[in-house]
Structures are given as C-alpha cells and as structure tokens.
Structure 1
Amino acid sequence: MDWPSHGSNPHYLYEAMNLPFPEERIDFSANINPLGPPPILIENWGELLHTVTQYPDPAGRILKKKLSAQEGLQENQVLIGNGGAEIISLIGRVLAGKKAVIVQPAFSEYEEACRVNQCKVQYHQLHADSWDWRNDDLSGKLMNADALFLCNPANPTGVFYPKPVILHLLEECRRNDCFLIVDEAFYDFLPEYESIAHYISKYPNLLIIRSMTKMFAIPGLRLGYLLADSAVIKRVAAFQPHWSTNALALKAGEWCLESESYIKETIRLIERERQRLFYFYQERNLLVSPSSTNFYLLKDPSIQDQLPFLQFLVNRGIVPRHTVNFPGLEGGWLRFAIRGSGDNDRLMEGVDEWISSRR
C-alpha cells in the first residue's frame, strides 16, 4: 500500500486504502489547534488584502524583531522561513555530505532533508517501554556525527524531554563538534515550558526550529523560524530564496505574537481534553504514549498491527495518522491529535464501537 507520508489531507489516506471519501469526517491526523486561528487574525483578515500587491520584506524584519525580543536574542540570531519544513530543508543543505543522527521515531522530513543532500543517516531508536534514552548508545553514535536531530516534544509520541536532558545532549554534542538541532514545533502547547533559546550564546552548536502553524492554526500560510548563533543563521540563510515567506504570513505572524490569552486558553483546553481521553483509554486497557502536548500515540494491545483498528475508524469518518513510515513503529500504533470536546466525544464513541466489535 502506498501510504501518505504526512498527516492532514485525509483524501490521500482514503485513496491509499481504496475507500470512498466521506462527506463528513473528523481529521485527527493533523496536530493543529482545535480553536482555529486567533481572534485577532480573523477580525483583521480583510486588512491583509493590500499586501498581496506588494513584495514582502525578504528579511521579515518586523516579525524578526518581535521574535528576537520575545526570546532575548539578537535579530541576526533569527531566520524566518516558509514553515518549519523549509527550515529543515535549508539545514539539510548545510549538512550536505555529512553524518546525521536522528532520534526515532521522528518526523520523516529530517531524514528526507538529509538523504536528498547525500548525508549519512543513523538512527537512535527509542522504544515503547519508556520512550527513554539509552545514553551510552547515543554517546557512541555522536563520536563521528555532525548533527543530532531531536523533536521536543517528540512527534509522534508527544513525549517532552526536560531541560536537564537537553543540556546533557548539548554538552555531548559540543564535545563531539556536533550540531544539536531541536525541533520545537509544539513547544507552545506545553503549560510549563522553559525556553532554551538563551543557551545559544553558550552553545553555538544549538539550533532551535519553531513553527507558528500548529499553535495558531495557520498551516495554509506556512510560517516558521530558526533560532541559532548568528554565524549559523548566515550559513543557513545562504541557501534560502528571496521572498520565501509571503506577506500574508509575515503580518499574520506579527498579530499571532500578540495572542497571549488565546495561547493560555488553548493550553487549558488541551490539558483538560488530554486528561479526559487518557482516563477513557486507561479504563479500556488501551495503551497510550505519555504525551505532554496536543497529540499522542494509541494502541490496542490485543492486536500487533493496528491496521484493522485504523480501517474501522476511517470507515466511520474518524481519521487518525498511521505510523507505517515511522521507524520503530511500523504501523504498531495510531497517532491522534487532541481536538475539541465534541470531536473527542465522537472519537471515544468510535473506540467503544471498535472494542464492542471485537467481543
């Protein structure tokens, strides 16, 4: 089966499974804020029309200034991009021909960006018993590595690795003259996140990738950024085409940074719904990853391959993310975004129907 390589765009999943595309469906495969875009963006959207007649600022200076002030960095330590995906692609160009270690399971685009640039790729595989580190094994892999990719919170597990873990990795990487590339695409869903951006001054080998599309529910606009030492930013930016970020996205990004109450409301919603869902799964003896963010892995332990579970839900218009192309998972789990209470209610109904069907 030709599985789609990403969540969202559920019609690709239905095509791959040779199923009719239902008119009514709930997409749990895309990890987007269930509240939708922040009110400031909705209320002022009409003001953006005039920007489409002008070229955007190729440096995104206004947004860059706001981001650098937010993180306590210099403007030359920030690079704005066409989503986190472009930043990952640009980093791949910098690493061309080098050796990268990827903490797996992980977002597939790290490996894609490395391999298209003829990098040698090695996995550091985490396992479902704890999703925890095996430090001795990782240390050996870093001895000849040029970069270590880590998603934190991790996609697809949702597991968050706290600051002491990151600092340990930073020291390990520095000793081995190795970049530590931390993808924080979902950091802003964490209620007690502590920024590591200020460590860039001490660790010029630290690169932090951020996305604004998940929290602010603007994946169609494509907006992300990189935080790193100014010399690293210069190297990465050398591969970026002019005007890679459009004017609509740049202005939307400025407004989104003003949405503190919306972010707090989102975190409260995700926390409440995650606790409710996890209690439901525990009561039904289903396995769930110890996620701290807005998505999680789910497994029915009575079956090894979760394809029947996936098919059952998809036939009812409930669309999870398959895990066939995640190394170490290979279809043994399903990933779900945390949506609003009504959608989560429908998911729980579908799960109960699945459990009843097996009896």
Structure 2
Amino acid sequence: MASLHGDDYQGELRANFSSNVWHEADNTDMYNHLCNLFAKTRRYPETEAESLKMTLAEIYRIESSHISIGNGSIDIIYRIAQSYRGKKSIIVSPTFSEYSRACEINEHTIKLCSREDIMVEIDKFQPDMVWLCNPNNPDGTCFDRKELQAILYTYPLVTFIIDQSFLDFTMQETLTANSVLEFTNLILIYSLTKRYSIPGLRIGYVIAPKTIIYKLDCFKIPWSVNTLAIEAGKYVISQKDSSFDLKTWLTESIRFQKEINRIDIFEALSSHTPFFLVKLRKGRAADLKAFLLKEGILIRDASGFYNNKVQMIRLNTLSINQNNLLIERMNAWKQSLSR
C-alpha cells in the first residue's frame, strides 16, 4: 500500500524533499532550552496547554477562549469532523487526505470539488461545511484574502474550515486570526511544526468563535499535548528568528522549477509556496521514488491525490546544492528509462 503522507522513510537521507518544512531551521537553542526543562516531564502536562494558549492569545491580541491547542493540526482536523458528525461536507480537492478520512470516520456526506467550482458546488450541494487548505497541500496554490472574504460573506450559514498550516510559506495575503471576530462561520487551523521544523513534536492550534471552540473542546482528550511540545511552542513563537527568509526561498524555488522543466519528461506546476507538484510525462512516480531512495533522496509520490490517473511527485525546495543533486539524479532516471 502506498504511503498517504510524505517523510515516510526513517533511515538516513542525503536530502528529504518529501516533507513541507523550513529546511534551514537551526533549533539548537530550543533543544538546549528543552533540556533544561526536561525535569518537568516527571509531572503531567497542563490539561489544556493553557500557558501556550495564553501566549498565542497575547500575540494575536484575542481572548484565549477563541483558541484550542492540539496534538498537531491533525488532532484539530479530527476533532472538528467529530464535533460536526453526520454533516454534509465539501472538500476542495486535490488536498490533504486527512480531511476526507476524518469526515468518513464521522459519517459525513462528502462532496469533492475543484478550487474553480467551489461556489457552484456550494449552491448545488448545500453543505453544512467546506474544508479547504490555504495555501493548499499538495500544489501550493492559494486563495487570497479578498476571495475568501467574499465567499464567507456569500454563505453565512456554511461553516468554513480553512487550514492555514502553511501560512508562513506564501507571500499571498490570507485571512488573519482576527477574522473569526468578523465571521461566525469561520474556523482557522494553524501549525507550529512547518515554519519551525519540529514536526516530531506535534503542535497545532485552532482559532474560531468562542461557541465553536467550546464545542471542539468537548471532544478534546486531556493531556493530549505533552509538556515538551507546550514548552517548545512557547519558545519558538516568542523568539525573533532572522534566519527565515521566505523571499530567498521562493526565488530558489522558481529557479529549481525552471531547471526541472528543462528535463522534457517533467513539468513543474505553478505554486505560491516553496513546495510544488511535478507532473511526469513518462514513467511512474513510484519507480522514480524508489530510484532516488537508493541514493538517499526522498520525494513524495503524489499520484494518489489524483487517484493514480496522473503520475505526480511533490517536492519541497531545499538548498541549492541539494536541489541541483536532485536535478542531476532526475536526469539520470530519465536516461535509465530509454535503456
């Protein structure tokens, strides 16, 4: 069975293009900070991760009752689906597979629709909820703020779950946390693991109207966020980090995509983020992945997003040297196909 997610190999790697995280994060100071706090793991963590919630409330300048902390954004996704069990959901696709899985488990009636057809499908299907990822995983496309505001105004009786886990990876204007004060039908999901490159710690949160947060917290498992994750979350959002340079990262991503497009069997698709899809005009994505893994390079086979009707891979932009290494090996794989 093909993996549903990236970063699905636990061995040593020369380059991991499969995981959409900031690749140059230096977390040495955070690790040292957590080591000094390790004795706190002898006690149970905060039941609701209250101190992290208060820190986020101060940063966003909203009341903490608008926030709930989760064991990664995945915890939030499943709690939302559970809280609205049996509802009608539109999922803007192709996208992160866990929206569908969470809705299926909780007996939602599901309708998949394309980004372009979202308003047409809302009118036809009359859903209770609409799920969309913005910027979207896997293709990095992004609705801008005005587009989303127009949709929210047009359908006030539909609850919109907008996953902004990759918010830090785009220059596009997106919805702010304070939008939940304006729209009572809005749920915003966030992740701390992508921007700060700590996916193993599992830290996510949701910002929504108070009544929705109360509903979600009815399904929250006590102590679901561990002590070190809480402390790491507070640490990273309180530090000034000058190393994160989105503009330079996006510039390298454009160069990377252009070089890939020079190889005639590949087509890098336009993206608003440093991660993007590549369409294969020849060969199978699974075979390319296996070929590269033998050389310590991991990519994401994204064909499953398209029911394997189109052969796709997803790549995150890494360093110039790592990107050039991948281009060289993709060329080598192309040559192997003609032997």
Same topology, TM > 0.5: yes
What SS does the corresponding residue of 1:207 show, helix, strand or coil? strand
Instruction: Please name the residue that 1:109 is paired with.
Output: 98
Deviations 1:55-89 (A, max 9, x none): 22122222112212222321100101100010001
> What is the letter of the counterpart of residue 238 of structure 1?
C
Instruction: Please name the residue that 1:140 is paired with.
Output: 123
Rounded Cα–Cα distance in structure 1 between residues aligned with 2:166 and 2:206: 14
Rounded Cα–Cα distance in structure 1 between residues aligned with 2:114 and 2:79: 25
Rounded Cα–Cα distance in structure 1 between residues aligned with 2:73 and 2:236: 16
Instruction: Please name the residue that 1:224 is paired with.
Output: 204
What SS does the corresponding residue of 1:244 show, helix, strand or coil? coil
What SS does the corresponding residue of 1:3 show, helix, strand or coil? coil
Deviations 1:38-60 (A, max 9, x none): 34313423212122012221222
Rounded Cα–Cα distance in structure 2 between residues aligned with 1:106 and 1:116: 18
Q: Which runs of 5+ in 2 are unaligned?
A: none
Instruction: Please name the residue that 1:169 is paired with.
Output: 151
Instruction: Please name the residue that 2:325 is paired with.
Output: 346
Instruction: Please name the residue that 1:254 is paired with.
Output: 234
Rounded Cα–Cα distance in structure 1 between residues aligned with 2:19 and 2:153: 34
Rounded Cα–Cα distance in structure 1 between residues aligned with 2:239 and 2:337: 46
Rounded Cα–Cα distance in structure 1 between residues aligned with 2:161 and 2:26: 28
What SS does the corresponding residue of 1:31 show, helix, strand or coil? coil
Rounded Cα–Cα distance in structure 2 between residues aligned with 1:163 and 1:277: 28
Counterparts of residues 102-251 of structure 1 (less than 5 Å): 102-126=91-115, 133-143=116-126, 145-174=127-156, 177-191=157-171, 193-251=173-231
Instruction: Please name the residue that 2:8 is paired with.
Output: 9
Cα 1:169/1:328, change in 2 over 3 Å: farther
Instruction: Please name the residue that 2:336 is paired with.
Output: 357
CA contact (8 A) 1:153 1:184 kept: yes
Cα 1:315/1:40, change in 2 over 3 Å: closer
Instruction: Please name the residue that 1:35 is paired with.
Output: 24
Identity %: 27
CA contact (8 A) 1:139 1:172 kept: no
Match of 2:49 among 60, 81, 87: 60
Rounded Cα–Cα distance in structure 1 between residues aligned with 2:212 and 2:38: 35
What SS does the corresponding residue of 1:197 show, helix, strand or coil? coil
Cα 1:141/1:47, change in 2 over 3 Å: farther
Shift of 1:348: 1.3
What SS does the corresponding residue of 2:90 show, helix, strand or coil? strand
Shift of 1:349: 1.2
Rounded Cα–Cα distance in structure 2 between residues aligned with 1:83 and 1:68: 18
Q: Which runs of 5+ in 1 are unaligned?
A: 12-20, 127-132
Rounded Cα–Cα distance in structure 1 between residues aligned with 2:47 and 2:92: 33
TM-score under structure 1 normalisation? 0.87
> What is the letter of the counterpart of residue 154 of structure 1?
N
Shift of 1:281: 2.1
Instruction: Please name the residue that 1:291 is paired with.
Output: 271
Instruction: Please name the residue that 2:259 is paired with.
Output: 280
Cα 1:136/1:64, change in 2 over 3 Å: closer
> What is the letter of the counterpart of residue 173 of structure 1?
Y
Cα 1:48/1:204, change in 2 over 3 Å: same
The size of the alignment, in residue pairs, is 337
More deviation, 160-169/146-155: 160-169
More deviation, 208-217/291-300: 291-300
CA contact (8 A) 1:104 1:328 kept: no
Counterparts of residues 327-342 of structure 1 (less than 5 Å): 327=306, 330-342=309-321
> What is the letter of the counterpart of residue 139 of structure 1?
I
Match of 1:271 among 220, 230, 250: 250
Shift of 1:309: 3.3
TM-score under structure 2 normalisation? 0.91
> What is the letter of the counterpart of residue 93 of structure 2?
Q
Match of 2:288 among 302, 309, 316: 309
Rounded Cα–Cα distance in structure 2 between residues aligned with 1:179 and 1:214: 26
